[in-house]
Structure 1
C-alpha cells in the first residue's frame, strides 16, 4: 500500500494531481490508515498510469472516466464502445486541425501582404486594414498600400 506522496512519486505527478483525480471521480483510495491518511494499492497505481496515458493522447476527464468505467466491467462492454470513444476524439482532433489550417492560411495571407517596415508608421498597414470594419473578412484586397513608401499587389 502507498501513501499519497509515495504514489505520486511512483507516477511522477504531484499529490495535488491525485487529489484532483479523486475529487473528479477518477480515483478512490483503497482505504485509510489509522491516522486517516489515504492508502493506495497496486491497482490504484495501474489506474493512475492508465489515466496519465489517456491524458497523453488527449482524452478529456469525462472520456477517461467513461473508459475507466468500461475497464472495470470490460466483459459487459464491447470493443466497439471503446473504439467509439476514441473515434469521436479523433474526429474532434481532425476538426480542430482543419480549423487551425484555415486560420493559418488566413494569417499567412494578411501577414505576407504587409511590408513590415520598421521605419513606417502603421497608418496604412494592410494587416490593420484587412482586419478593420471597412473590409469584409471574405473579400480579397489587391494593391493594398501597406505603408507610405510601399505598394503591394498581393491578395489578402
Structure 2
C-alpha cells in the first residue's frame, strides 16, 4: 500500500485566504474554464477586454448614474453600474433583468449612450450585440446604435487596410 502525500494545510489556507480577499474589495472572481486549445487565446482576449472595460467604471460613474436613474426609477429592484455593463456584455439574456435592459435601449438618451461609449466602458459594437442578444430590434435607439456600430466597424476596417488600399 502506498502512502498518500501529506497535504500542506498552510499552503491551502494561504490560497483560500487569497481567493477570499480578491472576491471582496477588488471585485475579482476566479473562474476556471475548460476549452479547446484553439479557443484559449480568444477567451483570454475577451477576459482581458472585459477587465479593461470594468476598470473604467469608476471614471464613467457620472454617466452610468444618469442612465441608471432613468432605468431604475420605476423598478422595485434596481441594477447597479457593473451589473448593467455585465448584462449588456452577456452572451445570453437574463430574463429577470429584461425590463432594465429594455428601458436602457428605449428610455436612455442618445447623448447618455454616446457618453458611455466615449467613457470606454462600452463600444457601439457592444451595444449592437446587446440589441441582438436581448432581441430588441425595435427599441427607440436601435437604429442609431446600428448606424454608429456600422460606422465604427467601417473605420476600423479602413485603418487595418492601410493608406494604399485604393491603388492597384
User: TM-score normalised by the shorter chain: which range applies?
Assistant: under 0.3
| TM-score, with length taken from structure 2 | 0.24
Structure number with higher helix proportion: 2
Q: Which has the larger radius of gyration?
A: 1
TM-score by length of 1: 0.25
* Structure showing greater relative contact order (alpha-carbon pairs closer than 8 Å, 6 or more residues apart): 2
More strand by share: 1
